[in-house]
Amino acid sequence: MTRSVGADDSTVTDNLSRRSFLAAGGAGAATALAGCSDGEEIDAGNGADEDTDVDGDYLRMAVDSVSSLDPVIIQLDSVGEYNIYERLTDHRNGQLPAEGNLAEDWRTEDDGRIYEFDLKEGVQYHDGREMTADDVVYAWRRMAESPETRNADDLLDTFEIAHERDDDGELVPDSLAVEAVDDYTVRVELAQPFYLTLDQLANISFAVYPAGVVGDIEGYDGEMSQSEFGTENPIGSGPFQLEEWEDGSHLSIERFDEYHGEVADIDGVHWSIMDDSNARLNRALNRNLDVFTMEPSQFDPDLLEIEETDEQGREFGTYGPLDNDEMVQYQSSEVLVSYYIVFNTANVDELAVRRAIGHVIDQHELAANEFNDMYDPGYHIVPPSAFPGGEDNYWEMAESDYPYGYAESQIDEARELMEDAGYGEDDMYELSLTVYPDSIWQDFGELLASQARAAHIDIDVQEAPQSTIINQAIEGTMDAFTLWDRMDYPGPDVFHRFLHPTPEMPQFTRISAGVDSEYADEAADAWEQYLDNRGPSDAEEQARNEAFERIETANLEMVAQLPLLHERVHRFVYDWVDIDMHGAMEYQQYNTVSIDDQP
């Protein structure tokens, strides 16, 4: 079927306006539909049509991989898990702060140690059942007790719900202090107050689903196996339900008409599962994706025009023309991901070396040259939107207090520092830096190595994928390595818990030895200050923020982790789609998306 006479013309005549081109493409698509005599093309939602062409108004995107749809396993939103499952609270459109969702209202007692949630009534699951408080108890118990769980630390660690342990230290089944007071009231008792409880509860692992669907915890027989729940039949209360998931091919969700909130306008969302960024981009250029992303190597900053930046730092504009001559909408948002160099301070115990490397690196240049400005330069470990005192305070502190050169490379200072420490051209300090096996990071490593040479540091750049980096980090065999980490909730403590000495856990990213006690004590003391002030009051918040600033400063002094970058998500959206950009939490529900004349 030939649909794109208009499209063909537009490639020849560049001056044809985008609008008229779109109109031509749209008309072509309409003819194509009309030309289909059997009418199958229009039938979208019944799932019988497994054609790769997505029919009906499906938002089409791509994702690199999907592992499971069971909330006790899911760790990140990749394919709209947040559209299938809902939690008591929610970051509306991925924006801070958290708001009530399945919980309409809540009260706290005992200085924020006890929460009582009033659940929304009449919330229907995808299988027709109605949500009650028992479901919350069941779902959270599974998170702690299921043999399949990978998310137990979400409620038993920094954020800790009170529970009992037996003599072997194992969690006692059904001892989690989550109680269904009545059908629509849930009472949660924390081990100690936690200032971001509502944010933490918005995490996908706290998803609520019907009690007893999987019988992998005591007291429930189960209606299906964990494997079936996680791959074929996830049941939630979100605006979309799973339609089809074929491993390594595609996953689609379809509109849930009985949704308790705003019922979606579009018929569903379709993700092509492909790992290679080049394949994804080509698919997008082929107009088979509506919303897509790019790698820094594929992105050309010259084609970008930013028209608006909102108060959350989200950017909106246009990008193009693409290789297919289309102009697309551009949107970007900072997300809570930081990249940094972790020093194994036990191996690299010379402070001058760690500081000298800080002097050599110019974060601005790294972001601009290697990442085409797709990432933001980082001068603290905690990203701006979670930084104490907010984004403004982040940049103010960075500009005035960053000790190793804000937006500049200070090779002379680095050399001086090393010479003062007794190193010279004939007596270089040797260390190895392990980077991700990615050309950008290799370039970064090579550049750093060549610059550091002038400061009498001999860096041997090695590469290792994330899975072996973790292993080597545990064994403590590396001197320094690049690492990225993402915050589950927008609290500096997610990253700061690694920035004070923990000699009893001498592994991974923790500071063990080789740090001057002056800074180590300061960081440890500040961490104590945070631990003592985790409650909801203003005084505690102030003390907490002060502690976070102290930890950031101590870290920069001792250079245990050297901040490099903060990630931004950039999205490119064809003009026929109307979609809002998500916020720092990096997820959103697609029930407010609309699509107009998709080709």
Partner 1 sequence: MSRLGYLARRLLLAIPVVLFGTSLTFLIIRMGPIDPAAAIVGSPDTPSAQAQYERTREQLGLTQPLWDQYVEFMTDLLLFDLGQSWVLSPGTNTYDLILTYAPRTLWLGFWSILIAVFVGIPLGFYAGLNPNTRADYLVSFGGIVWRAMPNFWLAIILLALFAQSQQYFFGFDWSGFVVDSEVTGAYQFSDITTSEGFVREFKRVLPAALVLGSASMGNEMRIGRTAVLETINSNYVETAKAKGLSTTKIVWKHVFRNALIPLVPVITSEAFLLIGGAVLVEVVFGINGLGYLFFQAVINGDLPLVASLMYVFILVLVGVNIIQDILYTIIDPRVGLEEGSA
The rounded distance, in Å, linking the Cα atoms of 528 and 332 is: 36
276 binds partner 1 (CB under 8 A): yes
Q: Which residue has the tokens 């990253």?
A: 495
The rounded distance, in Å, linking the Cα atoms of 258 and 278 is: 39
Cα atoms found within 13 Å of the Cα of residue 108, Cβ hemisphere only: 15
Convert residues 233-252 into a mask of x (bound to partner 1 by CB under 8 A) and - (unbound).
-------------xxxxx--
Give the tokens for residue 25.
Answer: 């493409």
Position among 252, 272, 372, 409 found at the interface with partner 1 (CB under 8 A): 272
Convert residues 282-301 into a mask of x (bound to partner 1 by CB under 8 A) and - (unbound).
xx-xx-x-------------
324 binds partner 1 (CB under 8 A): yes
Stretch of residues binding partner 1 (CB under 8 A), selected from 101-109, 177-185, 227-235, 365-373: 227-235
Q: How far is CA 503 from CA 156, 302, 343, 512, in A?
A: 22, 49, 16, 5
Convert residues 454-483 into a mask of x (bound to partner 1 by CB under 8 A) and - (unbound).
-----------x-xx-xxxxx---------
* Binders of partner 1 in range 108-167 (CB under 8 A): 147-148, 150, 152-153, 156-158
Question: Shortest approach of partner 1 to residue 413 CB, angstroms?
Answer: 32
176 closest CA partner among 215, 217, 209: 217
Q: In whole angstroms, how large is the CA radius of gyration of the chain?
A: 26
75 binds partner 1 (CB under 8 A): yes
Output b/e per residue, 12-51; b: 16+ Cβ within 10 A.
eeeeeebeebbebbbebbeeeeeeeeeeebeebeeeeeee
For residues 145 and 376, which CB has a smaller minimum distance to partner 1 in the complex? Answer: 145
For residues 469 and 564, which CB has a smaller minimum distance to partner 1 in the complex? Answer: 469
Question: Shortest approach of partner 1 to residue 185 CB, angstroms?
Answer: 28
Question: Shortest approach of partner 1 to residue 367 CB, angstroms?
Answer: 25
For residues 153 and 521, which CB has a smaller minimum distance to partner 1 in the complex? Answer: 153
In sequence order, what E strands does 466-524 have? 480-486
338 closest CA partner among 187, 571, 561: 561
Question: Shortest approach of partner 1 to residue 155 CB, angstroms?
Answer: 9
Stretch of residues binding partner 1 (CB under 8 A), selected from 63-71, 261-269, 372-380, 403-411: 63-71
Side chain identity at residue 340, one-letter code: Y
Cis amide prior to 97 (ω within 30 degrees): yes
275 binds partner 1 (CB under 8 A): yes
Position among 68, 237, 344, 588 found at the interface with partner 1 (CB under 8 A): 68
382 closest CA partner among 425, 337, 345: 337
Question: Shortest approach of partner 1 to residue 188 CB, angstroms?
Answer: 18
Question: Shortest approach of partner 1 to residue 520 CB, angstroms?
Answer: 18
Cis amide prior to 321 (ω within 30 degrees): yes
Q: Is 313 left (phi over 0), alpha (psi -120 to 50) or beta?
A: left
Stretch of residues binding partner 1 (CB under 8 A), selected from 448-456, 497-505, 515-523, 573-581: 497-505
Cα atoms found within 13 Å of the Cα of residue 205, Cβ hemisphere only: 26
The rounded distance, in Å, linking the Cα atoms of 313 and 309 is: 6
Give the tokens for residue 34.
Answer: 């009309």
What is the separation of C-alpha 163 from the centre of its chain, rounded to a whole number of angstroms?
A: 29
Question: Shortest approach of partner 1 to residue 438 CB, angstroms?
Answer: 12
For residues 457 and 464, which CB has a smaller minimum distance to partner 1 in the complex? Answer: 464
For residues 103 and 217, which CB has a smaller minimum distance to partner 1 in the complex? Answer: 217
2 binds partner 1 (CB under 8 A): yes
In sequence order, what E strands does 120-196 have? 178-182, 185-189
Question: Shortest approach of partner 1 to residue 68 CB, angstroms?
Answer: 5
Binding-site ranges for partner 1 (CB under 8 A) = 1-4, 7-9, 11-12, 50-53, 65-68, 70, 73, 75, 147-148, 150, 152-153, 156-158, 169, 226-227, 230-231, 246-250, 272-276, 278-280, 282-283, 285-286, 288, 323-324, 465, 467-468, 470-474, 497-498, 505, 507-510
